A and B are shown apart, each in its own frame.
Chain A
């Protein structure tokens, strides 16, 4: 069974940094693209970033490009999101999701339960 567990969220001041982690189990992690999706309180879903199975192709939403960095460590079955220069509008529940295949352009087949990031002074 696929299991995704996010961690690293919390309360942070504007302009500071935070690193999210996602621990994966129950599947061959290095065969699949991975994604981060966020959901602001009471709002809809927003795709944030994705990385292909081999890490060769990475994509970001315009709203986070240049501030966030996605990475993966296949040896640790882990996905990361380094978030710098955080803004209040980055406040959201951040989900880690497994792609249906190795490409970034695949549906999000499995999701974690999310980690909450709150950006406020």
Chain B
């Protein structure tokens, strides 16, 4: 199985800050990676698929990048509605596996 190691597990940031979340795959997954946002009491929502493609309707302050087996989600200017938990997921092969999550908290 492919392991997804996500870091940090939590980050404190202020409105307007740039936030970067990292996910490392235990083996090559090409660009088969998605990022999700989950707010408390709500279902997850996809932000990025294929490592860098922005899901329709998602603000452009969210972006995804990659290098080898390392993937990043960047929020260029954190907004109040962005405080949430973020998960990466590899979609290269079954079993699909998620990272452990990153909670973005208000500083």
Contact = CB atoms under 8 A, between A and B. Distances in A.
A104 B50 CA distance: 14
Q: Specify the main secondary structure of chain B where it touches its partner.
A: loop
A11 interface: no
Given A95-B43, A113-B43, A47 B49 contact: no
A100 B49 contact: yes
Contact of A105 (B32, B44, B87): B32
A100 B48 CA distance: 12
A34 B41 CA distance: 22
Nearest to B42: A113
Interface in B44-76: 44-46, 49-50, 55
Interface string A65-94: 000000000000000000000000000000
B97 to A, nearest CB: 7
Interface residues of A, number: 23
A15 to B, nearest CB: 25
Given A44-B87, A45-B87, A108 B97 contact: no
Interface of B: 1, 32, 34, 36, 38, 42-46, 49-50, 55, 87, 89, 91-101
19 contacts: A44-B87, A44-B99, A45-B36, A45-B38, A47-B95, A47-B96, A50-B96, A61-B95, A95-B43, A100-B49, A104-B96, A105-B92, A105-B96, A107-B46, A108-B89, A111-B43, A111-B45, A112-B43, A114-B43
Interface of A: 35, 37, 44-47, 50, 59-62, 95, 100, 104-109, 111-114
